[in-house]
Structure 1
Amino acid sequence: MKIFKIIMAIVGVSILAFAGFLAYSYYTYTAAFDTENKPYKHYVGYIDFKKALLNDAYELCDEGRIYNTYSSAGLKAYKGSKKRFRDHINENFNNNAFTDAGYVNFRFLVNCEGNAGWFEIIQMNLDLKETTLNKTMVDSLFTLTSNPENWEIIEYYEAPRNYYMYVSYRIENGKVTEIIP
């Protein structure tokens, strides 16, 4: 009789543990990431597709799932290397005697084919206050940054994936002095 009670206790605990696992799995894969009815709908890496530039030039793969949304793809996203990217910018960016100073920040997505699109541009002065910089200068940096030749195809679980990326240019007297990251 005592063994029967022990077996029933083990079975009961096992059923409760399995039910808890199922409930946690359901929450993790559905409710935890549902931002529609939450006060902060826009998580880190969120880009408003309606306002984004180059939002209709390419298609996202994998049903639009985005990887590396919190830290971006960082240095592994640059095709070749960051040095190659920096050299490409320095060789092709014609400063046209711009005198602006500040930061031009590009937040964007790169699809599974290595095509950059869905750009959001944030312009700031050197005190990190939003401002408007020379449009021709910003457009030139946008054209250089959006070039697919700059971006790697990144694989996760042996398949190419979409990923979030950002590039910030520090501008002093119309010249690019730093590229982050």
Structure 2
Amino acid sequence: MKKWVKILLYSLLGIVLIIGSAAGYFYFKFKRDYNSTDKPYKNYIGYIGQEKALLNDVYTLCDGGNIYHTYSSASLKAYAGTKKQFRTALTENYSGDKFNDSGYLNFRFLVNCDGNAGWFEIIQMNLDLEETKLNPQMVDSLFTFTAMPQNWKELDFHEKSSNYYMYVSYRIENGKVVEIVP
């Protein structure tokens, strides 16, 4: 065989091996790494299971259900006004006088592209951060307030109104909300 044919064949073999190795690497990296079947945390940050979510059938998610602002939630940008206005509205809509529970009441939820809150997950804890059950009427009252659409605004992601993840945590002492996070 001529020398140039051998060089050409070895070059082609080298190129095929390089392409095959790159394809195998990318297959492993993107197919296997994102397979969450045998991993302890099977969902993305901000995931709220639809089978347990409250108000998951009232509104629809836009943009094929894509959720944005998942790592730190929409934070202070999501309040329809300011956080101070949110607290004032809470004071007008919620009176803790009839409750004596203390703890944290955490709402994790999604807000769709129209500013409607839904898909709620509620976590109730005592002041030592241990899961507990708080007074159901108090939880329902704060849930009703938190779910009100006038509390949330539409947020853009890449100049397009989008769905986003949000959370609100109320610190409650003797039935009174003493702190709201974020």
User: Structure 2 length normalisation: TM-score?
Assistant: 0.82
CA gap of 1:158–1:39, structure 2 versus 1, over 3 A, is same
* Shift >2 Å, 4+ stretches: 23-28, 30-39
Unaligned 5+ segments in structure 1 are 1-8
Q: Which residue of 2 aligns with 1:166?
A: 167
More deviation in 87-96 or 160-169? 87-96
More deviation in 32-41 or 166-175? 32-41
Unaligned 5+ segments in structure 2 are 1-10
Number of aligned residue pairs: give it: 169
User: Equivalences for 1:1-181 in 2 at 5 Å?
Assistant: 27=29, 32-181=33-182
Deviation at 1:69, TM superposition (A): 1.2
**Structure whose alpha-carbon radius of gyration is higher:** 2
Q: Deviations over 1:130-177 (max 9, x none)?
A: 100000000000000000101110001111111110000000110000
d(CA) in 2 for partners of 1:164, 1:39:
21
d(CA) in 1 for partners of 2:157, 2:126:
37
CA gap of 1:174–1:63, structure 2 versus 1, over 3 A, is same
Which letter maps to 1:50? E
d(CA) in 1 for partners of 2:28, 2:83:
40
Identity %: 60
Q: Aligned to 2:106, what secondary structure does the other structure show?
A: strand
d(CA) in 2 for partners of 1:48, 1:163:
15
